[in-house]
Chain A
Amino acid sequence: MNQYIELYKEQKDIIGKNSASELNECRDAALETLLQKGLPGEKDENYLHSNVSDWLSPNYGLNIQRLNLPLDTDEPFRCSVPNLSTQLYFLNGDSFKAAPQTNPALLPAGVVVMGMNAFAVAYPEILRKYYNRLSYSDSVSCLNTLLVQDGFVIYVPKNVSVEKPVQLIELMQATLSMMACRRILLVLEQGAALKLLLCDHSLSLQEYLSLQVIEAFVADNASLELYDLEETHTSNRRISNLYASVGADSRFVCNFITLHNGSTRNCANVSVNGPGAEIVLNGIAIADKRQHVDNYTFIDHNSCNSKSRELFKYVLDGNSTGAFKGRVLVRPGAQRTDSQQTNRNLAITPTARMFAEPQLEIYADDVKCSHGATVGQLDNAALFYMRQRGISEQEAKMLLQEAFVGEVIDFIPLVPLRDRLNRLVSLRFRGQLAQCKGCSICR
């Protein structure tokens, strides 16, 4: 941790010069929290299976000087989804860029999609109102707040629905090991609707660490669908902290899909601040080799009549490890909360390990809350049945694994995205994803 604090102290002026004042205003408090709490240690219950202090210990380079890292936006990325027309943007490291074909005029009136620094110039009062309002207490998020210099903002005004999904491609591409502090702010006013597809990629073979903080404000009656897809290489580390504040009768859907990675910790903190909200948190993790995927969710039911659904499915092969911790808090007065959490895991090899931890805390008496977690192997009877019909053992295993995670994909309402994910999952299980352009380094 000390190297980051020293770096900040040494480079404070440059960092400040390159960033909006709204970002700079939060740095001192973040530093104080960081110094006070320190980074989570091995004994920290919420980080039990992901030693993020260890992940943060190497000396990564940070693009403090805002060097213009090369980015070929014409490159046909695999994350382009056939038949799904999107507004496309990039975060290269932590630098924002719109795709050349993206035309802001096509966005509905009043909708703003911008880099964070540009947004600060155009809408300083909105940025000040929302920036760092949810992420100030966690020390890992504070590290992001301390060093962040740019980011991505979407603002959707009252009763405006953005029909076409927005897609943000997050890239790591450098000639030396690098860390990026990414920041995403999503503000949906009352009755607004947005679908956002995030694709996290690492393009060159370096050690990377992405430290991401997403803050999402979903006002009353608003609807936010978030698809967070990771397809990075085995030397990539990702720490992503999502904070969502959801209002009355709002809808918040978030899917974490880890197709290929190194070490990942995704965290989703959802605070239910109005009655009648609906929250869906789903996830897929496919891991082999020594890959590590940790999803931590916290749904804070702070208001009545809300509904939450969680479905996380892991397929762990090789020597991979998976962790899922799902905390659901039903506060006093959050009556008629309807919450359901399901975590199902397949351990393909005896050396794969899964840590499943449901955690329900209920302080209201008129609620419906359930949870279930299982770890198992592939169904041998089904495997043999398929082999008798001529399907090779290898192929039969693939089909069963695809079917297993397919349950999560089936919930995705965007048909083209569903088709694309089914295809990517199929390639992933066949070991072909790592052989495609872009991620050939994972072979």
Chain B
Amino acid sequence: MLKIDNLHASVGDKEILKGLSLEVGEGQVHAIMGPNGSGKSTLSNVLVGHPGYTVTEGTVTFKGKNLLEMPAENRSHEGLFMSFQYPVEIPGVSMMNFMRTAINEKRKYLGLEPIAPADFLKLVKEKREIVKLDNKFMNRSVNQGFSGGEKKRNEIFQMAMLEPSLSILDETDSGLDIDALRIVAEGVNTLKNPQSSVIVITHYQRLLDYIKPDIVHVLYNGRIIKTAGPELALELEERGYDWVIEEFEGKK
């Protein structure tokens, strides 16, 4: 599904990712954990093609294609989705208009006709129910007047609408209460299928109680320094990151 090899990336003059390699297979759930400033958000932003980040070295292949040479919108059409840590408010653009445009742009890319209005409404209703998002939000401007929890549910709603093959959840648990966290996680689990993969970026074990990872990575100083099974997340929760870092520094 996704193969990252020796990825280097910077913001301005500052190098943040320093030779990161990672492989995500079909149907897998990967968790990426790590202390603040380790490069977690940079990784997700680089993958989705944020113009503020520059890739200086390395390759990323997504479903056999060179991801790095695609504009952000084509990465989305190819099946890459990111749930934003801070979803952006777009005053004056209604959720309906936004979602219809997104769906139709994807269909255009895939050589399909625009979606019929009735089918679109049906799809919206079906997907809203997954994250229990009330219909009143559909006529509002994108994320405007949404609470923190509603914004995150809206991210998962959009994920459901676009049916990505790889979803990156960038600190989706931040700012969520337990109930909202459960709804969001249940939504992700409902959408999960053997062909789709998920990368969960998080500080805490909490979300991983609901979205069970197959593999857990520790990101530190722009590199993956440890990879193990789900038990690693529990250990990190208990012991912090220092021991992993020491272990890594010791090996060098």
Contacts and interface: CB of A to CB of B under 8 A. Distances in A.
Interface stretch (B9-17, B90-98, B132-140, B204-212): B90-98
A387 B93 contact: no
Contacts of B77: 390
A390 B90 contact: no
A399 B101 CA distance: 9
B106 A407 contact: no
A399 B98 contact: yes
Given A386-B98, A399-B98, A391 B90 contact: no
A404 B98 CA distance: 15
Contact of B102 (A382, A390, A393): A390
Interface in A372-416: 379-382, 384-393, 395, 399-400, 402-404, 406-407
A380 B72 CA distance: 13
A301 to B, nearest CB: 31
Interface string B100-127: 0110011001000000000000000000
B137 to A, nearest CB: 16
A183 to B, nearest CB: 38
B72 A388 contact: yes
A287 B144 CA distance: 28
B51 A390 contact: no
B82 interface: yes
B92 A407 contact: yes
A34 B122 CA distance: 67
Contacts of B50: 384
Given A390-B73, A399-B101, A385 B84 contact: yes
B162 interface: yes
Contact of B76 (A382, A389, A399, A400): A389
A131 B109 CA distance: 61
B196 to A, nearest CB: 16
A404 B72 contact: no
A239 B50 CA distance: 46
Given A395-B101, A399-B101, A386 B90 contact: yes
Interface string B73-93: 100110001101001111111
A262 to B, nearest CB: 28
A252 B49 CA distance: 50
Interface residues of A, number: 22
Interface in A43-90: none
A407 B72 CA distance: 29
Contacts of A403: 90-93, 141
A387 B101 contact: no
A396 to B, nearest CB: 8
B162 A390 contact: yes
B172 interface: no
Interface in B153-184: 158, 162
Interface string B19-60: 000000000000000000000000000001111000000000
A384 B97 CA distance: 17
B164 to A, nearest CB: 10
Contacts of A382: 88-90
A43 B51 CA distance: 45
A279 B91 CA distance: 26
A266 to B, nearest CB: 24
A387 B162 CA distance: 13
Contacts of B71: 387, 392-393
Contacts of A407: 91-92
Nearest to A387: B72
A391 B141 CA distance: 16
Given A385-B90, A400-B93, A392 B84 contact: no
A390 B89 CA distance: 17
Q: Which of B84, B101, B158 has the most CB of A within 10 A?
A: B101
A386 B99 CA distance: 10
A382 B144 CA distance: 12
Contacts of A388: 48-49, 72-73, 76, 81-82, 84
Contacts of A387: 49, 71-73, 76
A390 B88 contact: no
Contacts of A393: 71, 73
Contacts of B92: 400, 402-404, 406-407
Contacts of B102: 386, 389-391
A376 B57 CA distance: 35
Q: Which of B72, B87, B98, B105 has the most CB of A within 10 A?
A: B72
B242 to A, nearest CB: 34
Q: Which of B82, B92, B162 has the most CB of A within 10 A?
A: B92
A382 B101 CA distance: 15
A389 B142 CA distance: 12
Contacts of A399: 90, 93, 97-98, 101
A352 B142 CA distance: 28
A41 to B, nearest CB: 40
6 contacts: A379-B88, A381-B88, A384-B50, A390-B162, A399-B97, A402-B93
Given A385-B88, A387-B73, A388-B48, 17 more contacts: A381-B88, A384-B72, A385-B90, A386-B102, A387-B72, A388-B76, A388-B81, A388-B84, A390-B102, A390-B106, A391-B101, A391-B105, A392-B105, A399-B90, A399-B97, A407-B91, A407-B92
Interface of A: 379-382, 384-393, 395, 399-400, 402-404, 406-407
